[in-house]
Amino acid sequence: MASMRWTDRTWQFDFPTDVYPSILERLRGTPARLEEAVDGLDTATLTHRAGDAWSIQLHAGHLFDLEVLPRTRLDDFLAGAERLTAADMSNRATDEAHHDKRPIGEILTAFRAARTALLARLDALEPDVFDRKALHPRLEMPMRVVDMCVFQADHDDHHLATMRELTMRLADQ
């Protein structure tokens, strides 16, 4: 099982805006799924790297690092920006954070707190705000607030699936 590279993914944001409560539930569930993904894994397994590939723990840390992006993009939407803030596709924040040297519990706690804060902001929005649009800088396509939420949930799922793949591969060794 090999997951598709994130940058090779494409999206069609053609679903109705009023599905946003279900999308928010996906976002709400990520901290628990992340905790489950690393539960019972020892430090050697969590931090094992094959070459330059990220470890399980680096994927977890990356999810935390990226929590700033939907918050920033939500600010963009609320300010009426025409173009959303671009992601740092070099993932410098993850590379510089040295997540493999931190206890996994710190990463999980930080991620849960950041996600809870994002969801508090999203939960407070009026339903019509989920239909606001701006241009996504990498995809070069319009994105609504609800689409940003799907994009973030898909990003979560991508990294969780990769972590599971790494866990299975390491268990087979």
- CA–CA gap between residue 37 and residue 41 (Å, rounded): 9
The pTM of the full predicted model, rounded to 2 decimals, is: 0.93
Q: What is the DSSP string of 22-49?
A: HHHHHHHHHHHHHHHHHTT--HHHHH--
What pLDDT, on the 0 to 100 scale, is given for residue 2?
Answer: 56
Q: What percent of the chain has pLDDT over 70?
A: 97
The third-level CATH classification (topology) of the domain covering 19-171 is Four Helix Bundle (Hemerythrin (Met), subunit A) (1.20.120)
